[in-house]
A and B are shown apart, each in its own frame.
Chain A
């Protein structure tokens, strides 16, 4: 290690180069493993090794020079046909990549301390080259049957990595999310300021017109004087005035032209700055996942399987925050796929498949969502074995297990601690993977799911929202304020003539395609004033699908806008019907609508909203206020059953369709009791209970959990979260539910 400070910065440079070159090397080596004589990949790897050797020599890093040198020698031998690269060679060469990183790491094991390892590496590689040239390694031959499959795989990879190895792997810098947001804010602000120049320049045009009219007035005045002659003094003064005027007109014209140029440049710069700032939040999917190719291959080798990773949609831009969060879950899914998903090569050949297993890692943007797919072409999940595993682990009774559908059975895979593997390996099978994947997806309000085909493979899907990046939206005005609907959530927008509105069962509807769609004012939904539109046509946004569609009346459409999503202050907790905020071009804030939330709000308003006000009125007439209960369940049947049961006993019942909806409801209205299910989308019952019990104002509100899960640990989990009572769903056929409710809050009215 040198004490010279400049040496450190050189080492940094080398490390940066190593980072990009070793990515190219790894990609190339993995491709060579499948196609050992590919000239392109041999050339690319050789070049990478050669450049590293040169760079290492410049900074005088002798061990790195030696490693790169033998690697280069080996690759050159392969290039000249003196050596056919086998898997063993690739193994050693990949170790060489790791060794280079170690040498350059700057840790105590790095630098000259790594020399013994370097010597060992040289020996290994030289030996492998010597034996390889005599007889090609066995497993390289083993790979040769199935030429068709290999041919396509090789071309896939060739097109896939040509671009990234050329320019993809820029050096990354880390920046905090807050710093990024500030930067974005400032870039936006400077864009706004730059845009003010144009109106200012336009205003100056008026000055130009004033000059013109001044010149005309002067000419008119001149015309009143006798032509030729007159007082020479006057005409001289006139001449001077006109000259002065002409001078200042010229001057103004020049400055205006200059201002125009400044405006153009400033706006252009600010635009670029803004676009670049937004762009820098996005990374190509490939950048975040390329390193998995190596991991998958090494894992496969450790397990005696041949595996290749196919990255599809690698150039799709993904928000860097999401990409970061994806890292651990993707690692889990890929390890799972290699270990559980894929069969051993012999088994594959027996099943008529190519011996090499393929794992596809795909990213695509679909309907405003980011979809990440991890699919293998392995044996698929044995549903009967899964069913048995569930019963063996006492997660449910045999009878229940027999009646569960495939999708329901697969959902058990995401339970904490669940594993089908009888033995624990150090690769996977500890059963800690999938629930972590699930919780990451949940954290960003996404969904994880799995489908499987016996014999042909398993596919895990992550549906993640893109809410961290830029969204295309429709801007509308509601009660004098702008709101943005993400385009992905809008079914249609239309101008509805007033006479097209029909009233069905006391509520306004209109004909939309083959259906009747209910109309609701956005003002009523968001509790923002009254609609003021007096025009003939109503501006309507249709949201939702099929039976769940609603027409929202807004004040007016403001047009389509691309908005940079900015999170709301976390202290606000979830604002109902709003997912985030953004800034408009003029710098004023706009709220981005949470369409899922809004559809649920509309559902409730259309379903019981009107009745609620009516019932409030009745209760007043009774002068005996009834106890109010909030029922939270995602199953319509259970919800309605509970509602009827409680209503029958005189309680006033409100419903919410999931935990998030329930959380919104308890904060907006006052209740005497909350009855909630556990398993629900968006927010589960345990989370809801936890939130309620942590809230200063709601802490004393009793909560009862009603769930199918009747194991002791489920009960414990519910009560630990703060629930006051835990009931299993079987129980509301008898009077248990009513008794429990009466125990907690007493009779319906006292």
Chain B
């Protein structure tokens, strides 16, 4: 470091040379390429007013691919036992579930969005293997819901969004504000706040 004495510096000059001449570590080039590409894309997005980068988590319920803001997500866990609540028959409130030692209210997004599970049940057992319990929420008010599959984080630019048609697939999606094109699917971008508020209200 800067504190080393001159004699020490002369002694190590040979090894310093070999340090600089050593081959690049694997992935180094790619990492930097990625970095500049991202920066360029961000600059690109910035130059286009009204367009910005957003990240969402993409998941599937029934036959619908859906997305919510990444910041909403707290946990994605293996499916587990949900305990129903007495006297509550509504389809939306499934009960309570334990995720990482926390007892959370578990709701059905399928019921909220009016998505039937027709096709996926036809596809049978194979689909069950991707099932997850997803924990979302803001400011300590958390909720869990089962999803049939969770893809993961996806980054997109708002200018790639397309407007929602009146219906997507078979189900009407009142909570979707836009469509994100992703791997040949139309992903319904849900309104974060609207979904949380509606769920909050409907579990009371």
Contact = CB atoms under 8 A, between A and B. Distances in A.
Contact of B96 (A182, A189, A581): A581
Contacts of A591: 83, 85-86, 96
B29 interface: no
B81 A528 contact: no
B107 to A, nearest CB: 11
Nearest to A529: B84
A583 B86 contact: no
A53 B102 CA distance: 48
A526 interface: yes
Contacts of B96: 568-569, 581, 589, 591
Interface string A555-579: 0000000000010110111011110
A185 B87 contact: no
Contacts of A573: 204
Contacts, number: 83
B98 A589 contact: yes
B101 A527 contact: no
* Residues of B in contact with A, size category: 20 to 34
A170 interface: no
Nearest to A527: B87
Contacts of B123: none
B85 A578 contact: yes
Interface string A579-607: 00101000111110000000000000000
B199 to A, nearest CB: 9
Interface string B162-180: 0000000000000000000
Nearest to A587: B98
Interface string A353-384: 00000000000000000000000000000000
Contact of A526 (B82, B87, B101, B141): B87
Interface residues of A, number: 35
A575 B88 contact: yes
B100 A185 contact: yes
Determine which residue in A182, A481, A527, A589 has the highest number of CB atoms from chain B within 10 A of its CB, and name it.
Answer: A589
Interface in B93-114: 95-98, 100-105
Interface string A175-211: 0001001101111110000000000000000000000
A482 B84 CA distance: 10
A664 B200 CA distance: 19
Contacts of A186: 100-101
Contact of A588 (B80, B104, B200, B204): B80
Contacts of B83: 481-482, 581, 588-591
A585 to B, nearest CB: 12
Interface in B182-204: 200-201, 203-204
B140 interface: yes
A198 to B, nearest CB: 20
B22 interface: no
A232 interface: no
B89 interface: yes
Listed from nearest, the 9 A-B pairs whose CB atoms lie closest are A185-B101, A526-B86, A189-B101, A589-B83, A588-B81, A569-B105, A589-B96, A576-B87, A185-B102
Interface of B: 80-89, 95-98, 100-105, 140-141, 200-201, 203-204
Interface of A: 178, 181-182, 184-189, 481-482, 526-528, 566, 568-569, 571-573, 575-578, 581, 583, 587-591, 664, 668, 695-696
